[in-house]
Structure 1
Amino acid sequence: MNSRNQVQRPRLALFDLDHTLLPLDSDFEWGEFSIRIGWADKQEFGRRNQAFYEDYVAGTLDVHDYVRFATEAVRRHGAQQAASAHERFMDEVIRPAIQPAARNLLRSHHEAGDEIVIITATNEFVTAPIAREFGVSNLIAVQLERDASGWITGEIDGIPSMRDGKVRRMEAWLKERGLGWDDVECTFYSDSVNDVPLLEKVQHPVATNPDARLRALALQKGWRILDLFPQKP
């Protein structure tokens, strides 16, 4: 009876985005793109963008400071120009970078009947169009606070989906559907040690294109390792 009930549990396939489904960091690349289109100063913005990225890799990023910084140009240019710029970003940066291996992995889970969720520490402005490009309707990203007009303020709305925040946001997503961790069978794909809290929570953690620290941890814990893309230096 227990075995049958376990088989019947809904299956979820959770995916980090940057360096997991994408062979790049969409947040960092949006910043670089902002420089190229003249929305940000090359030297100052580029220096700060690189510093924030290094903090993220090290697991020390202050996500609130970063989101204020990363959305400044978008907020200044307004919704219409921001949407146009993002579509250009999709054409020039994101779509050419998407690799068949990532689409095939998503397709395999879809065909198996799994519900797919992208859960990322990158903000919703950057990631919502990318999730749509992958054909994924469930996106858990850093939510952006909006003012009375509906435009973003630069602050974060709610719990950032980063480190242990991913676990809390995922729990809230499940609760909205009347579910808990014991009610679902979860696989989670991620490249980063920032996602260890959620990797340790699911039944099937997959270190995907893992950084050196996550690769070592996965080997130690016996987690599956999947290299969709060439290994990062």
Structure 2
Amino acid sequence: MIELAIYDMDRTITRAGTYTPWLIFWAWHRAPWRLLLLPVAALAGLAYALKLVSRKRLKEINQTLLMGHAVDPARIAPMAEAYAKRVMDGGVYPEALAQVAADKAAGRRVILATASYAFYVEALARRFGISKVIATKSLRDARGRIIARIDTDNCYADGKLQMVKDYLADAGLDRSKVRISFYSDHFSDKPVFDWSDEPIAVNASAPLRAHARKEGWQIVDWH
């Protein structure tokens, strides 16, 4: 039996969300004038709350506003490293890193599965000690630049579950011969929780905590 330990990232390993802070970090260092567009981003957030735009489209809009339509990945790489260093400086639960290390020591394959963008998440994953990342991917233009459009689907809710299933298929892993532990803080990950063999609610939001108690799932709080 092959054992996998799959971790969500934002508010599971990290103490807070990383996507909006990443956009602000990028704008501050690369194009400070874009910070003037934050009120427009807030309006986009309101449109999402009113269900006028999808979560996927909201992310694309905010990336366009604060990073621009297209960015050379060579410009992103050093910024992702700098941002990862900043997040690691007090922005990560030590207990999460200890659990990742324990899962690896036990011979489990550790995977990071997050709705955040792969172009900056991979720098964080390396610092977590995780080599495999399943994350939201971006389309590229003819010049190889990362554009503010999501490739296929946002790695969120049912989309995350499908991407994890795709990983198993690509790796040639038979689900019946794999035991999966899944760590996350949010109820949006219910599809993956339900599919896993060992659902573990970490730093759980109120809806997830209530559901986890009802289902008898393990509940863990990292501080």
TM-score category of the 2 structures, normalised to the smaller one: 0.7 to 0.9
Gaps of 5+ in 2: none
Greater mean alpha carbon deviation, residues 165-174 or residues 97-106:
97-106
Q: TM-score, normalised on structure 1?
A: 0.83
The equivalent of 1:116 in structure 2 is 110
The equivalent of 1:189 in structure 2 is 183
Contact 1:74 1:82 in 2 (8 A): no
Q: Which SS does the other structure have where 1:206 is aligned?
A: strand
Is 1:44 the counterpart of 2:44 in the alignment?
no
Contact 1:193 1:211 in 2 (8 A): yes
Greater mean alpha carbon deviation, residues 62-71 or residues 196-205:
62-71
Q: State the Cα distance separating 1:146 from its structure 2 match.
A: 1.4
Is 1:96 the counterpart of 2:90 in the alignment?
yes
Q: State the Cα distance separating 1:46 from its structure 2 match.
A: 5.6
Q: TM-score, normalised on structure 2?
A: 0.87
Number of corresponding residues: 219
Q: Which SS does the other structure have where 1:160 is aligned?
A: coil
Letter of the structure 1 residue corresponding to residue 16 of structure 2: L
Deviation per residue, 1:175-203 (Å, 9 max, x gap): 11222322210000000111011101111
The equivalent of 2:56 in structure 1 is 63
Q: State the Cα distance separating 1:36 from its structure 2 match.
A: 3.2
Contact 2:41 2:61 in 1 (8 A): no
Q: How does 1:78-97 map to 2 (within 5 A)?
A: 78-97=72-91
* CA–CA separation in structure 1 for the residues paired with 2:209 and 2:44: 24
Is 1:30 the counterpart of 2:22 in the alignment?
yes
Deviation per residue, 1:42-100 (Å, 9 max, x gap): 353266269649959x9x85213313422551655533332232222223334431232
Contact 1:35 1:45 in 2 (8 A): no
* CA–CA separation in structure 1 for the residues paired with 2:113 and 2:167: 11
Q: Which SS does the other structure have where 1:86 is aligned?
A: helix
Q: Of 106, 117, 121, which residue of structure 2 is paired with 1:127? A: 121
Greater mean alpha carbon deviation, residues 183-192 or residues 25-34:
25-34
Q: 1:14 to 1:181 in 2, by over 3 A?
A: same
* CA–CA separation in structure 1 for the residues paired with 2:179 and 2:81: 35
Is 1:147 the counterpart of 2:141 in the alignment?
yes
* CA–CA separation in structure 2 for the residues paired with 1:54 and 1:192: 22
Q: 1:108 to 1:125 in 2, by over 3 A?
A: same
Q: 1:212 to 1:130 in 2, by over 3 A?
A: same
Superposition RMSD in Å: 2.6
Contact 2:71 2:147 in 1 (8 A): no
* CA–CA separation in structure 2 for the residues paired with 1:85 and 1:164: 30
Q: 1:122 to 1:71 in 2, by over 3 A?
A: farther
Contact 2:186 2:205 in 1 (8 A): yes
Greater mean alpha carbon deviation, residues 194-203 or residues 180-189:
180-189
Greater mean alpha carbon deviation, residues 96-105 or residues 85-94:
85-94
